[in-house]
Chains A and B, each alone.
Chain A
């Protein structure tokens, strides 16, 4: 039934991406060992990357692998190893009474609401695309060119703001990670 309306390779790609995404996500929240969670996170990122390629976002698919699976997960693993918390975490206890059923109920209601809204709403906006001057998006290798043009023209101020944000984040992280030691040294001198 599905095959008659959608091409089989597309459906297979979608199913593989979905399996990777959801298996990885469940792995992140179910694994007792934080290292296993981090590795499951990589699986989710690969699945999302496949979904990006399926939808023609080639540049973002590459960036997803390089930045998320490459940099952010390595940062997580570095902190896990640095703190030595790579032992099994206790997940069987429920410190707050009824927290898990309540969380599950809240999540199910939210997602059911979102899906219901999606299935009933029409997405006709009629507004021309601001970033491309009303031109439709192009596929294939034009994706990188188009995205670069949008980021460096329409969104140039946001782009410059992210540069400032990254500088502030790096300085903040250095200060946060060094603060305790500086205080200790001053106390030691006094």
Chain B
């Protein structure tokens, strides 16, 4: 008998939690992007788990598209980090505080 789906869902929830905590607490824009990747992977794991338990390939097709969007997001995001770093000489998000009242 294979592993029940709920085990994988709990692992995915824990992975999402770790990623969300890192995203909320870390200052470096690069680490925050990595935490976004962690959360996306948690969702991917959930998609694949439901794909198996519901017997529908649509979950795996969704993961395929999440992969593509994640790649595009990282490309643009790191481009922004490079552009900000040129101006500020720092990758910390605390530097971007001009709009603070």
Contact = CB atoms under 8 A, between A and B. Distances in A.
Interface of A: 5-7, 10-11, 13-14, 17-18, 21-22, 25-26, 28-29, 34, 37-38, 41, 44-45, 48, 51-52, 54-57, 59-60, 63-64, 67-68, 71-72, 75-76, 79-80, 82-83, 85, 89-91, 95, 99-100, 103-104, 106-108, 110-111, 114-115, 118-119, 123, 125, 129-132, 136-137, 143, 146-147, 150-151, 154-155, 158-159, 162, 165-166, 168-170, 172-174, 176-177, 179-180
A97 to B, nearest CB: 13
Contacts, number: 239
Interface of B: 1-4, 6-11, 13-22, 24-28, 30-31, 33-35, 37-38, 41, 44-45, 48-58, 60-61, 63-65, 67-76, 78-83, 85-87, 91, 94
Nearest to B4: A6
A85 B30 contact: yes
Contact of B38 (A10, A44, A89, A146): A44
Given A29-B31, A83-B91, A137 B75 contact: no
A34 to B, nearest CB: 5
Interface of A, secondary structure class, is helix
